Structure 1
Amino acid sequence: MTIKPGSPVPELKVTEWVQGGPISLKDYLGNVVVVEVFQVNCPGCFIYGIPEAIETYHKYRNKGVVVLGLATAFEDFDKNTIENLRLLLTENRVIGETLTTLTYQSKLLNEGKLSYNIPFPVGMDKLEKEKLPIEDKRIMEFVNANILDFDLYHQKDKEQIISRVKSYLESKPYSPLTFEEYSLRGTPSTIFIDRKGILRETTFGSNGIMASTVEKLLSE
């Protein structure tokens, strides 16, 4: 099932709440909920997305806003693991491309540690093994969730898209359930849920609009 803006949100599909929790979105009805989605092996998440979420947490945590973190994995499955997430949350250590990039930019303390703590609850997105062979239903679910106005494409273009999607699904061992359920395009991404538990918006990348989006939802 794909969650679209304007729809009630289900519970986040999480393997484990590594920090904080257990979390139920139902408990936060009446609050604006911000879910920051990141990968452990994602430098941009630690340079832009997570710091913005931390700033939002400190600014609005006593004003009816709940900030949650969700670590996902749609690539680099050997690095974007729950073990490396635990290392991040317990020791502030980063790995892989995140370590390389943040070291180069002099954004780490000694021993490859972040200069900040993540203060809000963080869970690990539930990963599900792809079942081979990939069924047509699975291919079309992915296409319809990720390709805008697919039905308007010419038949030849449709066939090429379906072929590429099939190859992509066959190449990856796991599917991140929450990431795909919200049709997220990459990391960092942010999920905005209003006081009534309705999905209002998802964004990709750090575009500096988190605070203004939160303010808008609080004013309703």
Structure 2
Amino acid sequence: MISPGRPAPEWHVDQWFNTPEPLTIASLRGKIIVIEAFQMLCPGCVSHGIPQAQRIYQTFSPQQVQVIGLHTVFEHHAAMTPVSLEAFIHEYRINFPVGVDRHSEGTHLPQTMRSYAMQGTPTLILIDAQGNLRDQHFGNVNDLALGAQIMELMIEAKPLQA
């Protein structure tokens, strides 16, 4: 994991779903960014990570909190293509933007996954309204604790949004 409080690395995304244009940290300045890094064939992602991201998306105002899915495939590459992901997004009724993490030649780890030094999936990343990494969780995250973290970041961001 990279150190909290430092500028969050930009994402390396080959394709986006559920958004008319590519998203960047700079384009979302002023909003809290919640990234759910997942894989379609990851049991923890399907049972916990994606449902939690959907709850965040449904709970917080999109003017204040931007939820993003990051499909970051480091295994079973042939099974988890963008075509399969599109069907997954439809079947699981995912309405928030989802990006496909870019692969690098010579490594099985996608670029954003490496930039953030993720341990695996599911990984939840919190970026504050100024574009700084604030927290990164590998595995399950308690809803109440996560909600409190998001609210803390929203309170900090209030002067920026005024």
The TM-score bracket by the shorter chain reads 0.7 to 0.9
Look up the match of 1:103: none
Look up the match of 2:140: 206
Contact 2:35–2:68 at 8 Å: present in 1 too? yes
Structure 2: tracts of 5 or more residues without a match: 157-162
Between Structure 1 and Structure 2, which shows a larger proportion of helix residues?
1
Determine the C-alpha separation between the residues in 2 that align with 1:216 and 1:52: 18
**Percentage of matched positions with identical amino acids:** 35
1:218 aligns to 2:154 (yes or no):
yes
* 1:88 Cα deviation from its structure 2 partner: 1.2
Aligned residues, how many? 153
- Greater Rg over alpha carbons, structure: 1
Determine the C-alpha separation between the residues in 2 that align with 1:184 and 1:16: 20
Question: Kindly tell me: are residues 62 and 72 of structure 1, through their superposed partners in 2, closer, same or farther at Cα, counting changes over 3 Å?
Answer: closer
Determine the C-alpha separation between the residues in 1 that align with 2:65 and 2:141: 19
* 1:3 Cα deviation from its structure 2 partner: 4.3
**TM-score normalised to structure 2 length:** 0.87
Determine the C-alpha separation between the residues in 2 that align with 1:83 and 1:41: 14
The partner residue of 1:121 within 89, 93, 97 is 97
* 1:72 Cα deviation from its structure 2 partner: 0.7
Contact 2:37–2:71 at 8 Å: present in 1 too? yes
Contact 2:9–2:116 at 8 Å: present in 1 too? no
Question: Where do residues 1-220 of structure 1 align in structure 2 (5 Å cutoff)?
Answer: 3-20=2-19, 21-62=21-62, 64-90=64-90, 92=91, 114=92, 117-130=93-106, 173-208=107-142, 209-220=145-156
Determine the C-alpha separation between the residues in 1 that align with 2:148 and 2:37: 18
Determine the C-alpha separation between the residues in 2 that align with 1:16 and 1:41: 19
* 1:210 Cα deviation from its structure 2 partner: 2.3
Question: Kindly tell me: are residues 125 and 218 of structure 1, through their superposed partners in 2, closer, same or farther at Cα, counting changes over 3 Å?
Answer: same
* 1:63 Cα deviation from its structure 2 partner: 5.7
Superposed CA RMSD in Å reads 1.7
Runs of 4+, deviation exceeding 3 Å: none
Paired AA for residue 18 in structure 1: F
Determine the C-alpha separation between the residues in 1 that align with 2:139 and 2:72: 15
**TM-score normalised to structure 1 length:** 0.65
